[in-house]
Chain A
Amino acid sequence: MIKTDIIIIGAGPTGLFAVFEAGLLKLKCHLIDALPQPGGQCSEIYPKKPIYDIPGFPEVLAGDLVKNLMEQIKPFDPGFTLGERAETLEKLNDGSFIVTTSRGTKHHAPIVVIAGGLGSFEPRKPPIPVIGEYEDKGVEYIIRDPEVYRDKRVVIAGGGDSALDWSIFLADVASEVSLVHRRKDFRGALDSVEKVEELSKIGKINLITEAEVVDLKGEGNLDSVVIRHKGQASDEEVKVTDHFIPLFGLSPKLGPIGDWGLEIEKNAIKVDNTYDYQTNIPGVYAIGDVNTYPGKLKLILCGFHEAAIMCQSAYQRIFPDKKYVMKYTTVSGVDGFDGSRKEAKREVVKSIN
């Protein structure tokens, strides 16, 4: 069991900055994120896009902002559980919480902060009505163990890097690989596109373009897919296969958090914004894009503000008898948990005084 002061669900900019604000109050944090790396949308969706409204940064790439935040919180030595989705929230008799992830990792703390942005990123599922019936019975959205596909027939759908890369990889593992894509052009890395073309020419990949998988068949387990060719509604091809792997990227979903008994409004968690961004469950806070309240603005800078306010409230909840006086880092400096200390030079402090 991982024990900490604050469990933060979501390692996007808001969650990361909350570690800093908590650290100033000597509170330890542990972050949980479904993605394999910190940074949330900034790292996953637009790392190379510039952001122009972070105070003090006329322009900063989303990826660099995350890098800087990671550097800023380093002295506070946060723990990370990455690549695992926060699945359940259990409240104990003493008012503390246990958050368990999709892989069964348990985290215990008196405070839980949801900084989940738009939610956890989950595979985008093609609109095939029966697809749910075949999940884990031949339909997989993520390849966890390529050996599962050894000597099997596999149909992959998609036109991006994942579809291309896995088609190439499985060409040497599976007995048959078909790649179905809506267009003739592929949007992946040029090397990968060329490799797929090459493997197609020698019969290692069955390339089916300008086509979509529109139906799935099988008694219990998947045994075939129905492929519709573009502009030929009646021209459907039934392809016998053991596995269908649609690879269409990720889409954010509120996920299991939506079932934790939190008050939800318009796909966001309702909080008490007049005070501290606490949810209807005392001890559980929601900050950043995942929350809603009258006047809410979904901006990174607002998430930072909410993180600071939330930490003051969390501190009072953990230490109800202690009085904390808010200090400026310019005056108090920053004491890391690793023994590091940052402070302004004495003469600078003196001259300010």
Chain B
Amino acid sequence: MRYSGWQVLAQGITGNRGWRPAWRDPAPKGAYDIVIIGGGGHGLATAHYLAKRHGLTNVAVLEKGYLGGGNVGRNTTIVRANYGLPGNSEFYSHSLKLWEGLEQDLNYNVMHSQRGVINLFHSDGQRDAAARRGNMMIAQGDDAILLDRDGCREILPYLDYDQTRFPIYGGLYHPRGGTARHDAVAWGFARAADRRGVDLIQNCEVTGIDIENGRVTGVQTTRGSIRAKKVGIVVAGRSSQVAAMAGMRLPIESHILQAFVTEGLKPVIDHVVTYGMGHFYISQSDKGGLVFGGDLDFYASYAARGNLPMAEHVVEAAMTLMPVIGQARMLRSWGGIMDMSPDGSPIIDRTHVEGLYLNCGWCYGGFKAVPGSGDCFAHLIATDQPHPAAARYRLDRFATGHGLMDEEGTGSQHNLH
């Protein structure tokens, strides 16, 4: 069924009895051309673009739990393209362009809202850095506006501009940035891939990767063995474990990143706002909750929940930036399992096994990357050539030292990002 306003009307006046499940629930076949391990945002997007751009529909997505149950359902839903280094710059720019046509492409409302992202700065040095970053964004073909203090005050009147410690000097405004409804992104890609014939197989955990003479031949799963000519691993949060099945040891440490939401409130925050002097970023969901997050807890974790010190830091930062938030009550918090790479940038590449491809290392930037990552990973799997927008996301850059993308300039080493 094609979704449209007309359908909503027609179903509404006939008692909403005509809606059907958005995707099938097929049993796994014995063999596929391509198996994608991981039914999260990136895996589902990969399946969609394999089918749409490359006509490859004899494809299965294997998910050990339920579709979209990992990080795509556990983030702060921010979409932006404000990276500066070659590699990241063209990739996130490409991804943002895909976001802009995504709802029409998928025939699904992912509630993509280009409400603008404002990165605040609080010193002359930060202003210079923001101006430089804005110029980089404009040079890559995206948009950026340097706001002064009054410009910020006009659109963000609720911030504490005169705090003595970190007064707000201005902000870098990225109007095409914004948010999207995270679950809907997974569901939209799932439905679109399913409609083109991709099998989405849930409750199917991969327990082994079959390799013969250096070439992948299939996977072992809890629902039987499945033969495949090509296999893509895209399992952020479990990358090291799945890659180990193919004898690989990845440059990845899994860390915990917490996020928080308040009770639903009337509209108060119209944009995405990031604090320059504490790790804090915030937006308001369409349901009304203030959604915000901070930095990693900075120790390895698969617990999908964090500890109190970082929660306190985030709330302290929130209170210094916008004291008004003290009136809101916190509803809940959660944690995502982040694939942290040494330089803080992702990996989309072939592996030492022929026909086995790897997509991992999204650190805390995976949500905005979903369409771009799916498109580039599908291109790599289908053609065996890297997509131009992701050609620098090489697995061997740590071994060679060439092409490291250390966006924050903190060093290409674990535990620094």
Are A and B associated in one complex? Answer: no
Q: Which A residues are within 8 Å of any B CB, using their own CB?
A: none
Residues of B within 8 A of A (CB): none
